[in-house]
Amino acid sequence: KTNNFDVVVVGSGGGGFSAAIEAKQAGKKVAIIEKMPTVGGNTLISGGEMNAPGNWVQKKLGIKGDSVKSYYKDTMKGGDYLGDPKMVHILANNALGSAKWLRDDIHVKFINDQLFQFGGHSYKRALIPVGHTGQELVTKLDNKAKSLKIPIYTNTKAKSLIKRNGRIVGVKARYQDKKNVTFNAKKAVILTTGGFGSNVKMRTKYNKEYDKRYKSTDTAGTMGDGIVMAQNVGAKLTNMKYIQTYPIANPKTGMISLLADTRFDGAILVNQQGKRFVEELERRDVISKAILKQTGGYTYQIWNDKIDGISKTKAAHKAEYNELIKEGLLYKADTIDELAKDFKIDPATLKATIKKVNHYAKTGNDKDFHHRAGLVSLAKGPYYIEKAVPSVHHTMGGLVINEKTEVLNEKGKAIPGLYAAGELTGVIQGSNRLGGNAIADIITFGRIAGKTAGKL
């Protein structure tokens, strides 16, 4: 079967939807193809938070001083200066505009009186969608795509790119692993297939460390397909060895713990000995490595009701809360003694640790690990303790794109007809992506890809 379009978008995460919507609004005949039975990719199961310097919630909360420049600096530094400065500038300059687009054009609802400050950021600048997950984003993007009558071919896996006279002119795909389908693209193929966190073979090809000992927070579809397809037509890859683990994930399933987002509002991390060992707002790679060095390679995260009152994650992630309790990975306790007993931590040491935390909370000076937001008092229960391990979360490396999202070949020249945006690109996040930067990246560059294709 053959289908003819102007623009074919491969992958229906946040990047793919943004590209398809922009291209369609520019008057192109657009299709999205998605290999899974449902849309959304990792965007759907993510926390959905999005950095936007100078945003409206910062204004409402009286948070002053944030700027495009500060966000740019944090992102570059967070990725050890391996991001492409020109591309990171585009991200920083457009993040707020992307957030406003989601809010005003896509009708995404962001919580209007709460923000997250993820590790590595100088300010609380991440907007939180209602429900604290990517579901709000994907639902609204999907609604918009439907209202624009963009066809979405699910269960349709792109297998290879069609190249004719040096130009990418379409995609060969399989429907439900039964039928071959060809999608011709008169103007552009836009790859938005996400990273390769679920592909153990591909992970170890580029970095031996991340073998099957690590579970992944990613969906089963996160196999690096787009990177390989582009590579097969000459695309250059970069930063492939940089694979990010999310420090706080379920030790049994590898799933990200969104309940544990209390960490951004004062939850502490301790080891089996009951001692803190890292600044809780450090970069993900630093915290992950520190956790793996502790006894058993795991950590306990501890917080109280006061902290939950700030982050409100218990209400937002009820299902996860109940699941962790059921699995014996989370306990609620009234006293620190009980809390310690639940995981056989020495109560005296844990009490001493928490006493210090309370003191540092009062003085505003964490003398041990210099908590950048200031610690919060854990003097009053009830308390929560959750066991967690690092899990593969984001692959920073991927395709080299330019400011128009054209995919570049080994010689640095654009491959005609081929565009990419989102996690499969490797030029934005450097060696380490900061929290809240994936959504900002995929929406910003997804839209640029769609607009670029819209002008062809």
Specify the stretch interacting with ligand ADP by CB under 6 A; choose among 4-12, 182-190, 277-285, 428-436.
4-12
Residue 233: alpha-carbon gap to chain centroid:
28
Give the residues across from 249 on adjacent strands: 256, 389
> Cα separation of 222 and 206, whole Å?
16
* Structure tokens given for 259: 């309940």
423 binds ligand ADP (CB under 6 A): yes
Query: Backbone dihedral region of 254: left (phi > 0), alpha (psi from -120 to 50 degrees) or beta?
Result: left
Nearest by Cα to 190 from 23, 314, 321 = 23
Single out the residue of 225, 265, 282, 406 in contact with ligand ADP (rule: CB under 6 A).
225
Which of 25, 26, 29, 36 is the binder for ligand ADP (CB under 6 A)? Answer: 36
Stretch that binds ligand ADP, among 11-19, 48-56, 99-107, 260-268 (CB under 6 A): 11-19
Q: State the alpha helices, DSSP H only, in 207-294.
A: 225-231, 284-292
Should residue 442 be labelled a site residue for ligand ADP when binding is judged by CB under 6 A?
A: yes
Which region, left, alpha or beta, applies to residue 165 given φ > 0 means left and ψ of -120 to 50 means alpha?
left
Minimal distance, residue 196 CB to ligand ADP, in Å:
10
* Of residues 41 and 430, the one with the C-beta less far from ligand ADP: 41
Residue 430 found at the interface with ligand ADP (CB under 6 A): no
Binding part of the chain for ligand ADP, among 10-18, 91-99, 339-347, 408-416 by CB under 6 A, reads 10-18
413 in Cβ contact with 407 (< 8 Å): no
As measured in angstroms, the least distance from the Cβ of 17 to ligand ADP is 8
Which residue among 6, 22, 34, 285 contacts ligand ADP (CB under 6 A)?
34
- Percent helix, strand, coil in the chain, to 5, is 35, 25, 40
Does residue 33 belong to the site contacting ligand ADP (CB under 6 A)? Answer: yes
Answer yes or no: are the C-beta atoms of 419 and 401 closer than 8 Å.
yes
Between 191 and 354, whose beta carbon lies closer to ligand ADP? 191
CB 42 within 8 A of CB 198: no
What crossing angle do the helices spanning 85-104 and 68-78 adopt, rounded to 10°? Answer: 120
Tell me how far CA of residue 111 lies from CA of 220, 232, 286, 437, in angstroms. 30, 43, 29, 18
Closest to ligand ADP by CB, 37 or 412 = 37
CA distance 376 to 249: 23
416 sits in which H/E element:
strand 414-420
284 catalytically annotated: yes
| Residue 139 CA from chain centroid, whole number | 17
- For ligand ADP, the closer CB: 329 or 396: 396
Which of these ranges, 34-42, 98-106, 364-372, 403-411, lies near ligand ADP under the rule CB under 6 A? 34-42
Minimum CB separation of residue 150 from ligand ADP in Å reads 15
Of 54 and 226, nearer to ligand ADP (C-beta) is 226
Select from 39-47, 83-91, 93-101, 387-395 the region that touches ligand ADP (CB under 6 A): 39-47
**Residue from 9, 20, 31, 41 in contact with ligand ADP (CB under 6 A):** 41
Q: Which is nearer to ligand ADP, 141 or 408 (CB)?
A: 141
Catalytic residue among 103, 203, 276, 284: 284
| Least spacing, CB of residue 325 vs ligand ADP, in Å | 29
Strand segments, DSSP code E, in 149-256 are 152-153, 156-164, 167-175, 179-191, 237-238, 243-249
Using CB under 6 A as the binding rule, whether residue 144 contacts ligand ADP is answered as no
The piece of 38-46, 94-102, 332-340, 367-375 that touches ligand ADP (CB under 6 A) is 38-46
Asked if 228 interacts with ligand ADP (CB under 6 A), we say no
283 binding ligand ADP? (CB under 6 A): no
Nearer to ligand ADP, 346 or 403 (CB): 403
Q: How many other CB atoms sit within 10 Å of the CB of residue 38?
A: 15
Q: What radius of gyration, in Å, describes the C-alpha atoms of the chain?
A: 22
Residue of 446, 350, 352, 361 whose CA lies nearest to 401:
446
Which tokens is 31 given?
């299709």
The footprint of ligand ADP on residues 170-209 (CB under 6 A) is 192-194
Q: Name the closest residue to ligand ADP (Cβ).
A: 13
Binding site for ligand ADP (CB under 6 A): 10-16, 33-36, 41-43, 157-158, 192-194, 221-222, 225-226, 422-423, 438, 442
Which residues does the annotation mark as catalytic?
284
